[in-house]
Chain A
Amino acid sequence: MTAQTAILLTMIIPLVVAALVAILGRVASANVRDTVMVVVAASLFPVVMTLWPEVTAGGRPELIWVEMFPGLPIAFKVEPLGLVFGMVASFLWPVTALYGIGYMRGHHEKHQTRFFFYFSAAISAAMGIAWSGNLMTLFAFYEALTLSTYPLVAHHQDEASLKAGRVYLGILLFTSVAFLLSAIVWTGSVAGTLDFRDGGILSGHVHGWHVPVLLGLFAYGIGKAALMPFHRWLPNAMVAPTPVSALLHAVAVVKAGVFSVMKVVVYVFGLDLLSSTSASVWLMYVAAFTILTASLIAMTKDNLKERLAYSTISQLSYIVLGAAMATKAGFVGGSMHIAMHAFGKITLFFVAGAIYVHTHKKYVSQLDGLGRKMPLTFLAFGIGTLSIIGLPPTGGMWSKWFLALGALQAEQPLLVAVFMISSLLNVAYLLPIMARAFFLPPSEETAALPDKDAPWATLVPPLISAVGCIVLFFWADALRSLLVPVVGV
């Protein structure tokens, strides 16, 4: 299989799955539909991995599709950063799909066919974002991702989810049209190209105060990165079924956001431009503010999913901060964190959903003693927690390590302190959940539950992703050596 075929296939496979789901949902039983979905979805990751050898060898396979505007094609180019995002999304998709089946059935959700249809379509858009070869392509798939995930957020069709859907669509479309598109037009008009190139395309074309303003248009235009104050859509979207939260928080949506920020910083601005003009210093502090504030808010939330949502907002800004530092270690750490956070956070969401389906508990204060009833589930939660905090033996440690290193390279020791404080805050809002579940005596209600862990379809996925957190700890160097050539070491 040539790389070009592989690129095309990664975008087609999810669409095929969507089509199969739509057809089988009408003509076959739910079992057939869901089995076919997971099996075909599982073929995506191997296809993505066929790109690995070429990219690690320094190749940048390209695919030019059609000319959208004169001289401006829809083009795809696989580079290390995109490959990381592509691998994460393609690996977690079948896992999430399997979990989705368990969750949706366990919870007797309606409209499952529609749900899985849009779910698969969203993955196709995510793949397009991962490989995008210029800003126009990125923008096109970015919007496609927003629109294809809207029906998922509004899935329950009640007032709360309609409102969440409007907020979701409103903020993401507003920021992308008002800021991101303006930034793209601006970039195109000064740089004369919209291609992603090593070392950036803006160097020498923008000067003075234009640089930070343009950076701001990008950083806020990519609303999916949930930089404060445009973060409201993410906690709002919590009303959706938990597999959607997993998709939003780990697989595709927010990762597409921070990935785009990273990609813009590296391939449009170029690290040299930002570090030489100090144009991104303000963004570092906005990100640092978001990290700390969101963590503090997370501590106040009793609703487990909401706590996790604010935790995500905080963790996303790690990646934005990594980009804003414009240092080599910052780039490596931020990019690695895309993968590390994805595996950690998806584990936590899987568990939160499993608890909800199994016991209908959604508040942290209700979890006393539940660990003894659902030991494997909470074991997975524990591993995910370690990864988010950044402790060995989980992958989260390495990304945080490189990020802290990047802060030193950027000569911003204050930011090292931010990372450390944030880690402590993570401990403060995540570890008590474990402590409650294992060490506090169960409430009467909990004690009355049968001694049975979650059903397998909601148990296996968190275990897989928890194992993933540990594997990433040992595999981190492969990621590092994949990413390093981008910034030229």
Chain B
Amino acid sequence: MSAETATDFSAHLPALAVMVPLMTAPLVVIFRNSKVAFGLSLAAAWSVFGMILKTLMLTLEHGGWVYELGGWKAPIGIVYNVDTVAAFVMLIVSGIGALVLSYAPMSVAREIPENRQTLFYSAFLLAMTGLLGMTITGDAFNVFVFLEISSLASYTLVAMGSSRNGFTAAYRYLIMGAIGGTFILIGIGLMYMMTGTLNMADLAERLPEVAHTRTIMASFAFVIVGAGLKLALWPMHTWLPNAYTYAPSVASAFISATGTKVMVYVMLRFVFGIYGTEFAFTELSLGLPFAVLGLGGIYAASTAAIFQTNFKRLLAYSSVGQIGYIVLGMSLATVGGLAAAILHLFNHAIMKAGLFMAAGHINHQVGSVRLADLEGIGRKMPITMGLIAIGGAGLIGVPLTVGFVSKWVLISALAEQDLWWVVGLALASSLLAVAYIWRFVEVAWIREPAPALEHVTEVPFWLWGPTAVMMTLSIVFGVWGAGTTEVAMEAARILLGVAA
């Protein structure tokens, strides 16, 4: 965007998108009324979504721009780096956040004590603030700041679950998350030592001169491991299953769809935007370990998912597996591979948010998501089960769902590099998804309803409506995958610095 349009009001939109939830969060607490809290949060989330949609359209039309916070120039002030990639990821965060919030009140009323509900909404908004800030900022230290905002808010969200296991899950999440955050901070600190700047663009410029020092290599290792921990890169995923399982349904849906996704994006920014493809992939050959860890994650976590007895935990393991596909795409360091990774951020976010929301339906009506308690529930809650079937089909990668679009782009990217055996492994792995989804389908549909479920009914529209929107999106973007694919391609080109 040219200098003259940058003074236009719309140039402020990305900054405003971060400020709105940040300001609404304390406001929500002040009122101490869960209805008001919900209303404010919802209004904030949807307005943020609108701003980001506009931002994305602007970046697609005119290219990105640099936004100086408070008008301070780069080395002193903090800048926001507005481009298609960032806008796309922010769109995921705000879109999922807004839809999940639309669904929240009934689920929150059921799962969280009345006196903590306002705090829940507040933490939700803070988590959203952090995730949005991390995405947009052009300042390495600022990434860490927002990372901590979102992480602390997420720990709180997880701990608010109705079961006591939530506390231990949150504690473990906190420990692992803190380690990850600290590692990232150390990595950033080492870079600062060598270059004297925290601005990402300046870092990228100055790093090549000192790239061969041990300090920078160490910083690279710290950042990769730290970000890997936070994005649940197998085998550093151990915090994730419990956190997702015991968190309140609303929190599970939001965090699972956005938390790890933004971390993937941060990793992309650091690896491709700061260290550079040359350094990371040619000199330090990050490709191979990423491919191995990605494939390892796909197989290990998807296999683990088959044996779960709790539906939410099954979904959580599936998430670890799906992150494997993203990492596998990244490991290629080609436009196709990165596009596949970015596309899957979006596609998986839709599917997984929808599925966790549907798990929330079950929890709302039955009070449990253990498979043993759900025998024959298909006939009692046909809408919910239909929605789960759509989401499940997406995880398997059935054509006409978003899962297939991701899979196709990933496989085409692998084929482009003549990595046929990886193509085979990636394709075969979808059969594991068939196995874990089918486990649920058989329990829910084929078994006769358990006596305990006799009086269970379908959830009201206010719960299934937003979930249905999510699943509809999964089909819409599955049938019309060209649009999202092109945005992801564009984003990948920006990251790699390649012209179209």
Contacts and interface: CB of A to CB of B under 8 A. Distances in A.
Contact of A68 (B393, B412, B480): B480
A67 B447 CA distance: 39
A173 B445 CA distance: 20
Contact of A182 (B398, B427, B479): B427
Given A67-B482, A68-B482, A185-B411, A162 B399 contact: no
Nearest to A128: B400
Contacts of A151: 445
B423 interface: yes
Nearest to A72: B482
A70 interface: yes
A68 B405 contact: yes
A147 B393 contact: yes
| Chain A interface category by residue count | 20 to 34
Contacts of B448: 157
Contact of B481 (A69, A177, A186): A69
Contact of B416 (A143, A162, A189): A189
Nearest to B479: A66
A304 to B, nearest CB: 27
Interface in A145-184: 147, 151, 154, 157, 162, 166, 169-170, 173-174, 177-178, 181-182
B415 A185 contact: yes
Given A68-B479, A157-B446, A144 B427 contact: no
Contact of B424 (A74, A173, A178, A188): A178
A154 B482 contact: no
A144 B399 contact: yes
Contact of A140 (B399, B409, B482): B399
A136 B423 CA distance: 17
Nearest to B389: A147
A149 B438 CA distance: 15
A169 B434 contact: yes
A154 B416 CA distance: 40
A349 interface: no
Interface string B245-267: 00000000000000000000000
Interface string B444-457: 01111000000000
B278 interface: no
Interface string B62-92: 0000000000000000000000000000000
A71 B424 CA distance: 24
Contacts of A144: 398-400
Size bracket of the B interface: 35 or more
Contacts of B431: 173-174, 177-178
Main secondary structure on chain B at its contact with chain A?
A: helix
A151 B441 CA distance: 11
Contacts of A169: 434, 438
Contact of A178 (B428, B445, B483): B428
B446 A154 contact: yes
A173 to B, nearest CB: 6
A68 B406 CA distance: 11
Contact of A70 (B398, B434, B482): B482
A180 to B, nearest CB: 10
Given A67-B482, A162-B442, A177 B430 contact: yes
Interface in B437-486: 438, 442, 445-448, 479-483, 485-486
B416 A68 contact: no
Contacts of B281: none
B356 to A, nearest CB: 23
Nearest to B489: A70
B192 interface: no
A139 interface: yes
B46 interface: no
A181 B486 contact: no
A470 to B, nearest CB: 39
B486 A70 contact: yes
A404 B412 CA distance: 41
28 contacts: A65-B479, A66-B480, A66-B482, A67-B481, A67-B482, A67-B483, A68-B479, A69-B408, A70-B486, A70-B489, A73-B482, A74-B479, A143-B399, A144-B398, A144-B399, A147-B398, A157-B446, A169-B434, A170-B434, A177-B427, A177-B431, A178-B428, A182-B424, A182-B427, A185-B408, A185-B412, A189-B412, A189-B416
Given A73-B482, A177-B427, A178-B431, 6 more contacts: A66-B480, A67-B481, A147-B393, A157-B446, A182-B424, A189-B412
Interface of B: 393, 396-400, 404-405, 408-409, 411-412, 415-416, 423-424, 427-428, 430-431, 434, 438, 442, 445-448, 479-483, 485-486, 489
